[in-house]
Structure 1
Amino acid sequence: MTQEMDGDVDTLVRQRIRALRLARGWSLDNLAARSFLSPSNLSRIETGGRRIALDQLVPLARALGTTLDQLVGSPNDDDVVIRPERDERRGMTVWTLARERNPHDMTVAKMRITTPAPSLEGLGVHPGRDWFTVLSGTAELRLGDRLILVEAGNAAEFSTMIPHAIGAHGGPVEVLTMMTQDAHRAHLHDD
């Protein structure tokens, strides 16, 4: 890393610390108490009057509710643009729209489903909650012995401890879904 790039990252980290502090409505004293650093040190860190050390970044990240990776992450476009790959299986095409690692262990995916929801015997359970919104078509949400139709423009959220599956009703359906990592493993990695 060049000295110029090093300085850019340093400036970006300082801006992120200040922005996160202000977004939470915290004074320097509030963040100091949460991170076990002095308010004067924090002020110098935010303004560039003090070099940022790793032993300061870890408690700052923790206090600000973020990860060290997010705090010091690169600002280039590779961290912004996601080029989803198409994954086809069992009457469903999935485009994963979130990176493998994210702070809330959530996966975001667009799904195109062409088959109806399976019968009760073909349903699974896992810890957590699932959420989806229907982009086009009508989805069949099977929750135990209930079959719920969710039309385009509507959304559904449900406990995944109820046997469940999503299918297509009367033609293909496209949904945008957010799933916990348990749901991602259960729905997108089982064959």
Structure 2
Amino acid sequence: MTQEDEDLDSLVRKRIRALRVAQGWSLEELASRAHLSQSSLSRIENGRRRLALDQLVTLARALDTTLDQLVETATEDVVTSPVIDGAHGRMRWPVKADPGMSVVRQRMTEPPPENPARMRAHPGREWLVVLSGTAILMLGHRRFRLETHQAAEFPTMMPHAIGADGGPCEILGIFDRDARRGHRNDSGDDAQGAPG
């Protein structure tokens, strides 16, 4: 067995134990769920029994995860740098777990439009948190004031817009795949205006 194989073997055993402990399960409880003997599971966790593929599949299922997640190795690109859009005052970070997700940091100085005809509506969900200042979130005819550190989550089928209230504010928004698509113009570039 190579050093890389030994490292992966050790990592998988630690994950099995950590997932079991996180669920609050004893060896006996997980062994029962995975149709293994308690002593077999103990030897698997402690490295005294060879890991077999069929047992890993059963353990992954019992731990409510997938085999891929159980044997996944760490990636080198843990730290990401933002893509900066100076023209629109935005920074965007890709979300590796789901390429359809998008995280956007934006500084706003203008209030949002209050006329629903000037607001966006599209499939999806959006979540945002105010990093500094005060923001106004318009959802249809409703107006929500969000102070620093307050967050909002809403379906984007509701006409919506966000802007600053009484001075600049910064927000961090997370868009699902559909919401991100709804904030793009025909050329594929980010649409102008605040996320929301």
TM > 0.5 between the two? Answer: yes
Give the counterpart of 1:112 among 87, 98, 106: 106
Q: Which amino acid aligns with 1:12?
A: L
Give the corresponding residue for 1:153. Answer: 149
- Indicate the SS of the match to 1:153: coil
Q: CA deviation at 1:25?
A: 0.7
Q: CA deviation at 1:145?
A: 1.5
Give the corresponding residue for 1:24. Answer: 23
The root-mean-square deviation of aligned C-alpha atoms, in Å, is: 3.0
Unaligned 5+ segments in structure 1 are none
Q: What is the CA–CA distance in structure 2 between the aligned matches of 1:140 and 1:174, rounded to whole Å?
A: 11
Percent identity reads 49
The 5-angstrom pairing of residues 32-51 of structure 1 reads 32-51=31-50
After TM superposition, the score normalised by the length of structure 2 is 0.74
Unaligned 5+ segments in structure 2 are 192-196
Give the corresponding residue for 1:143. Answer: 139
Distance 1:170 1:183, change over 3 A: same
Give the corresponding residue for 1:182. Answer: 178
Runs of 4+ in 1 over 4 A off after TM superposition: 188-191
After TM superposition, the score normalised by the length of structure 1 is 0.76
Give a deviation string over 1:127-182, Cα, whole Å, max 9, x none: 44x32211123222110122322122322233444222323344543212344333
Q: What is the CA–CA distance in structure 2 between the aligned matches of 1:25 and 1:108, rounded to whole Å?
A: 33
Q: Which amino acid aligns with 1:142?
A: M
Larger helix fraction of residues: 1
Q: Is the 8 A contact 1:141 1:148 kept in 2?
A: yes
Count of matched residue positions in the alignment of Structure 1 and Structure 2: 184
Give the corresponding residue for 2:96. Answer: 99
Give the counterpart of 1:163 among 159, 164, 167: 159
Distance 1:37 1:167, change over 3 A: farther
Distance 1:131 1:30, change over 3 A: same
Q: CA deviation at 1:87?
A: 4.5
Q: What is the CA–CA distance in structure 1 between the aligned matches of 2:25 and 2:181, rounded to whole Å?
A: 38
Q: Which amino acid aligns with 2:169?
A: V
